Structure 1
Amino acid sequence: MSKEILLYPIVTEKSMSMTEEGRYNFIVVKNSTKLEIKDAVEKMFNVKVAWVNVLRTHGKKRMRKASIGMTPSKKKAVVALMPGFKIDVITNI
């Protein structure tokens, strides 16, 4: 079940700097809750989660040549781990 909730990690310069503080960013399923995300991270990576913050990004209009489209809406989760725990995001997903 944890594979279905966590879609993929966000690997950007900002998110990689947050990993030094023990915070990890993931794109998650839109209807998942904070408790489901916490349980999924703990089971998948064998770590203890301190807290989870969730935010939604809505799709934006984008124009390509003559057609207008939308970027997809996403749900992001910022997961903070207890001190002493780490996740190697690049190799574990």
Structure 2
Amino acid sequence: MKNQYDVLKGPCLTEKATLLHETDGKVVFKVHPKANKIDIKNAVEQMFKVKVKEVHTTNMPGKQKRVGKTIGNTNNWKKAYVTLAEGEINFADEL
């Protein structure tokens, strides 16, 4: 990827993401579909000055939506589960 600001699109703020952060110290991000785990790790470490332990990614399929007679799909997107090293728990306060 070109730079770290292209990799991370934003945090994924859901109930599951909040629970993962509180219990396991994981943070969930929406990322660029072509970003790999190394790009994601480098972007998080540079932008937020934290130590990343590991990164897991998943591709989320778009959902089918209907407006009147027209049926279409929302865009596919990629989600990254970033596990932070010990002692990096206050990360979500910066988001």
TM-score in terms of structure 1 length: 0.90
d(CA) in 2 for partners of 1:61, 1:9: 23
Q: Which residue of 2 aligns with 1:34?
A: 37
Tell me which stretches of 4 or more aligned residues in structure 1 moved more than 2 Å. none
Identity value in percent:
35
d(CA) in 2 for partners of 1:3, 1:22: 23
Give the residue type in structure 1 aligned to 2:16.
Answer: K
d(CA) in 2 for partners of 1:47, 1:3: 16
Q: Could you say which structure has the higher helix fraction?
A: 2
Counting matched residue pairs gives 91
d(CA) in 2 for partners of 1:17, 1:7: 21
Cα distance per residue 1:13-70 (max 9 Å; x no partner): 1111111121000000010000000000000111111100000012232222111111
| Structure 2 unmatched runs, 5+ | none
| Structure 1 unmatched runs, 5+ | none
Q: Which residue of 2 aligns with 1:43?
A: 46
How large is the Cα RMSD of the aligned pairs? Answer: 1.2
Cα distance per residue 1:49-92 (max 9 Å; x no partner): 11000000122322221111111100000000011013125x43
